[in-house]
Structure 1
């Protein structure tokens, strides 16, 4: 799919930050950069970032960061406009890269949800599914996490503004555990953990405190789910419990992984 390249405006590169269906946590990660953000702000123009300023600068943008999933027809139209106004578009967080926890709706009856949650469901206009940004427009880079890691976010911003590929690791959480010297919670304590199949980025926080990985950063580039499932069974988890463990922040991504494994299994 081809698209016109937006012309650069003279002066500092222009940054746009946009929100769709999400909790704002990934945008707050950008604000939490504090001193680092101030240093970057000297070299860029923050043209659109409603979480930080009510000033609205129109495109084109040299780099657009997009948080949140597409859940309404209006969102689907708006992301196409943002894409057309952006030289580079980067999705940030599990909602934007995989549909988020709200993508659980994809496997249920949305009309039933509306009846339970809203007093007047007829006032609510929503799509039946929650989908990642990449399902609607081309994306230049996906930054995983729920929420994203601040160091990785700064690396992505500086990389795109410098015209190079972001140096974001693509290994699993298990690799991070080994680097920080954390004892494997599964081997040592029989604690179920998604670390072997989860993309690194959090610094292996949960295993460092004796808890299993929850899969916040989605599937790693190379995963061996068929090898992990027997380990989780050994630790006392049923198939239903394993499914619930996988179907959280990145439900669509892990479901796609499960489906691919299922297709490889003999009938």
Structure 2
């Protein structure tokens, strides 16, 4: 039972992931203390041994679905959550582990493990939204802590969170960073990647790796044509799309378009 009925109850859950997005929440430090005064953190194993039963007003979910047990557990999480928010590339797009979707997982298990029959795993790694209704998604690998705070503040205020939908290119312009693609010919996914990271990589003369996944209506084929025309090999182009958000439809489809090309 909620000891503070005026405070919404928050739960944080982990599925297949590296814990980086939960650590981003802990990295909020002073801001998190302020949030903690407004909510009851009922379940957050990464930060506390307290394990209060549901229901919960808000659940933050990190990680992808990779086992049959995961699939059952996310349905239980959904059933006891008022709002369910997925955080990070694993939860929103299957994560880097979704590269397994492109190969025979049974063969990989035979190669990697001495006793592959002990490994209980699905053939695919899929986002949370493939299994249950998701109310909000926070992208990133890891998720941006300022976006986490914005979402929590918005939910406490009873308004919709202000989440980015533009491209990383807009963030480059805002911070005065020269386009690495135009200035140096560096392969960059910025034009098709959702903003949210602050354009960190281009600020250090590196191309965007697509950590935040596809932006709204990305024109990936047009970007690919530009990169190929600039001399980027098709194999490198495929690898560019097949990283943190390999299973995000726009990136997956564009990578597949170049399968079988040299």
TM-score by length of 2: 0.94
SS of the counterpart of 1:248? coil
Equivalent residue, structure 1, for 2:188: 193
**For 1:62, what is the secondary structure of its paired residue?**
strand
Cα 1:184/1:255, change in 2 over 3 Å = closer
Change in Cα spacing, 1:261 to 1:234, as seen in structure 2 (3 Å) is closer
Say yes or no: does 1:155 pair with 2:135. Answer: no
Task: Give the gaps of 5 or more residues in structure 1.
Answer: 1-6, 263-267
Partner SS state of residue 228, structure 1: helix
Q: Any runs of at least 4 consecutive aligned residues in structure 1 with deviations exceeding 6 A, and if so which?
A: 259-262
> Which one of 92, 111, 114 corresponds to residue 97 of structure 1?
92
Q: Secondary structure at the match of 2:46?
A: coil
The alpha-carbon distance between structure 1 residues 190 and 255, as it changes in their structure 2 partners (threshold 3 A), is closer
State how 1:5-154 maps to structure 2 within 5 Å.
Answer: 10-154=5-149
TM-score between both structures, scaled by the size of structure 1: 0.92
The CA deviation string for residues 109-150 of structure 1, in whole angstroms up to 9 with x for no partner, is 101111122111111111000000000000000100000001
| CA deviations over 1:17-55 (Å, ceiling 9, x no partner) | 000000000000000000000001001100000000111
**CA offsets, 1:63-111, max 9 Å, x none?**
0000000001111111001101000000000000000000001110101
Shift of 1:226: 2.0
1:261 to partner: Cα distance: 7.9
Match of 2:235 in 1: 240
1:164 aligned partner: 159
Superimposed CA distance per residue, residues 154-213 of structure 1 (whole angstroms, 9 cap, x where no aligned partner) = 001111222211101110000000000000001111111000000001100000000000
> Which of the residues 161, 171, 177 maps onto 2:172?
177
Task: Supply the distance in 2 between the matched residues of 1:47 and 1:261 (Cα, whole angstroms).
Answer: 46
How far the C-alpha of 1:225 sits from its partner, in A, is: 1.4
- Aligned CA RMSD, in angstroms, stands at 1.7
1:259 Cα shift? 8.1
Q: Specify every segment of 5 or more residues in structure 2 that has no aligned partner in the other structure, as ranges.
A: none
SS of aligned partner of 1:192: coil
Is contact 2:168–2:198 with CA below 8 Å preserved after alignment? yes
Matched, 1:258 2:254: yes
Contact conserved, 1:225 with 1:261, CA < 8 A, in 2? no
- Partner Cα distance (1:241, 1:68) in 2: 27
Deviation at 1:227, TM superposition (A): 1.5
Q: Confirm or deny: 8 A CA contact 1:172 1:199 kept in the other structure.
A: yes
Task: Name the SS for the 2:124 alignment partner.
Answer: coil
SS of the aligned residue for 2:169 comes to: helix
